């Protein structure tokens, strides 16, 4: 496989690897984060990615006698992980996760649809869990930059693909594997892989005016200032200041609520109906999916504690906020722990 690390140790007696558990863990540990990210892209949630990475290493350990050391350890682990993801998708009720309910038009003013616990919502991914982007550079066949392929919009886009197309696109266009390598993993011919890729690329291209998600570079000083102003607006309970940071055509989603909003005026109309629900806000900077993010703690009027309230993932664009995804209760507070944040903020 492409970009292969060194092989496992030689085979021992009866064809068993001369490898104990500690040595196995040392060899596989280097691939844990990139496999976890791969599983997240396939599944759309952090907790499923965690479970599937654990499942991958358990299966790898139990089937270690099948690895002869002549191929790539990395490729072997990706084979197990990808097939585990495909099997898990078959077993669940929804093949993909969403940040916006398909076919639902944008709302106006007060949210009326309510939270939809029965829908499968796409979750954010903590930057602290991302693999080292230098060591994880894709192969020569890749069509997407590593930083581009972790954005929330990209993960949301590939979730619309059928599972096999999703796997083929991730292996070829994100990881840079050849069609032949991907066919060996997924089964079938190189022709079938190339056909799946063409359909996947066409689906993604139809979602974006330029045929693909906007490419983003490393965080800039302008992005840092935007994040600072965003946090200041929330902590000052300055609704107008918050709205000024949005582009005129900004989109706002708030999983698990079905309602979503398009445009600065519509977003302002919604927030006017909920802004006073809390006595104050405290903002903590973090990062998710390679993007600036903010964890918001809120204090209710009758309460003295600042409790986890929502997690905001920001998509900057042209000097403002192009898209804002805010995970609210029960999804919001449940996400704080994976981001290393406590459920209650204690003022210093």
CA distance 274 to 303: 17
Q: Is the pLDDT of residue 18 over 60?
A: no
Q: What is the mean pLDDT of residues 45-49?
A: 96
Q: What count of residues does the chain have?
A: 348
Q: What is the mean pLDDT of residues 197-207?
A: 90
Q: Is the pLDDT of residue 286 over 70?
A: yes
- Whether residue 274 contacts residue 242, with contact meaning beta carbons closer than 8 Å, is answered with no
**pLDDT tens per residue, range 108-163:** 878 877 789 889 999 999 999 998 754 456 666 678 887 789 999 999 999 999 99
Residue 316 bridge partners (DSSP):
321
Confidence of residue 311 (pLDDT cuts 50, 70, 90): very high
CATH architecture under which domain 21-92+119-131+144-207 falls: Up-down Bundle (1.20)
> Over pLDDT 90: what percentage of the chain?
68
For residue 115, the model assigns a pLDDT of 87
Q: Is the pLDDT of residue 246 over 60?
A: yes
Confidence of residue 227 (pLDDT cuts 50, 70, 90): very high
DSSP 319: T
Q: Is the pLDDT of residue 12 over 50?
A: no
Confidence of residue 212 (pLDDT cuts 50, 70, 90): low
Give pTM, 2 decimals: 0.90
For residue 10, the model assigns a pLDDT of 36
| Token couple for 233 | 């607006």
Where is mean pLDDT largest: 30-34, 167-171, 301-305? 167-171
DSSP string, 273-307: HHGGGSSEEEEEEEEETTEEEEEEEEE-TT---EE
Q: What is the mean pLDDT of residues 299-317?
A: 94
Q: Show the CA angle centred on residue 62, arms to residues 48 and 39, nearest 5°.
A: 20
CATH number, domain 221-345, options 3.30.420.40, 3.10.450.50, 3.40.50.2020, 3.30.499.10: 3.10.450.50
| Token couple for 224 | 């840092």
- Whether residue 47 contacts residue 112, with contact meaning beta carbons closer than 8 Å, is answered with no
Greater model confidence, 45 or 132? 45
CA distance 321 to 223: 10
- Whether residue 108 contacts residue 264, with contact meaning beta carbons closer than 8 Å, is answered with no
For residue 271, the model assigns a pLDDT of 96
Q: Show the CA angle centred on residue 152, arms to residues 146 and 154, nearest 5°.
A: 60
Domains 21-92+119-131+144-207 and 221-345 share a fold: no
Q: Is 109 helix (H, G, I), strand (E, B) or coil?
A: coil
Residue 281 bridge partners (DSSP):
298
The CA–CA distances, whole Å, from 172 to 56, 215, 300, 320 equal 20, 18, 49, 33
CA distance 130 to 84: 20
The CA–CA distances, whole Å, from 63 to 57, 130, 155, 263 equal 10, 27, 31, 53
> Over pLDDT 70: what percentage of the chain?
87
Average pLDDT over the chain, rounded to an integer: 87
Residue 294 phi/psi, 5° resolution? Answer: -135, 130
- Site of tokens 């998509």: 315
- Whether residue 343 contacts residue 333, with contact meaning beta carbons closer than 8 Å, is answered with yes
> E-assigned strands of the chain?
246-253, 260-262, 280-288, 291-299, 306-317, 320-328, 344-345
Composition of the chain by helix, strand, coil, percent to 5: 45, 15, 40
Half-sphere exposure (Cβ direction) of 288: Cα atoms closer than 13 Å: 29
- Whether residue 311 contacts residue 317, with contact meaning beta carbons closer than 8 Å, is answered with no
Segments making up each domain of the chain, as ranges: 21-92+119-131+144-207, 221-345
């Amino acid at each position: 496989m492409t970009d292969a690390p060194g092989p496992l140790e030689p085979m021992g007696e009866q064809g068993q690897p001369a490898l104990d558990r500690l040595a196995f863990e040392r060899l596989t540990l280097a691939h844990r984060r990139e496999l976890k990210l791969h599983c997240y892209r396939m599944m759309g949630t952090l907790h499923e990615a965690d479970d599937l990475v654990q499942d991958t290493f358990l299966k790898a350990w139990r089937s270690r006698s099948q690895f002869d050391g002549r191929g790539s350890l990395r490729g072997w682990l990706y084979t197990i992980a990808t097939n585990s993801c495909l099997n898990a998708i078959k077993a669940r009720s929804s093949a993909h996760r969403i940040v916006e309910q398909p076919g639902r038009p944008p709302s106006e003013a007060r949210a009326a649809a309510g939270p939809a616990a029965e829908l499968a919502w796409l979750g954010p991914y903590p930057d602290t869990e991302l693999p080292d982007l230098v060591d994880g550079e894709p192969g020569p066949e890749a069509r997407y930059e590593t930083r581009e392929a972790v954005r929330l919009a990209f993960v949301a886009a590939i979730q619309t693909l059928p599972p096999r197309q999703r796997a083929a696109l991730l292996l070829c266009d994100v990881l840079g594997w050849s069609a032949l390598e991907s066919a060996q993993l997924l089964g079938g011919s190189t022709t079938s892989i190339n056909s799946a890729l063409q359909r996947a690329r066409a689906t993604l291209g139809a979602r974006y005016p330029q045929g693909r998600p906007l490419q983003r570079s490393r965080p800039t000083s302008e992005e840092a200032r935007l994040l600072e102003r965003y946090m200041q607006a929330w902590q000052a309970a300055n609704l107008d200041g918050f709205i000024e940071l949005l582009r005129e055509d900004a989109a706002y989603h708030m999983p698990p609520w079905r309602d979503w909003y398009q445009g600065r005026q519509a977003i302002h109309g919604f927030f006017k109906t909920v802004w006073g629900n809390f006595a104050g806000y405290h903002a903590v900077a973090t990062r998710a999916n390679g993007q600036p993010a903010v964890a918001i703690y809120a204090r209710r009027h009758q309460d003295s504690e600042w409790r986890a309230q929502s997690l905001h993932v920001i998509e900057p664009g042209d000097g403002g906020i192009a898209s804002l995804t805010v995970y609210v209760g029960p999804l919001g507070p449940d996400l704080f722990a994976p981001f290393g944040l406590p459920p209650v903020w204690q003022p210093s």
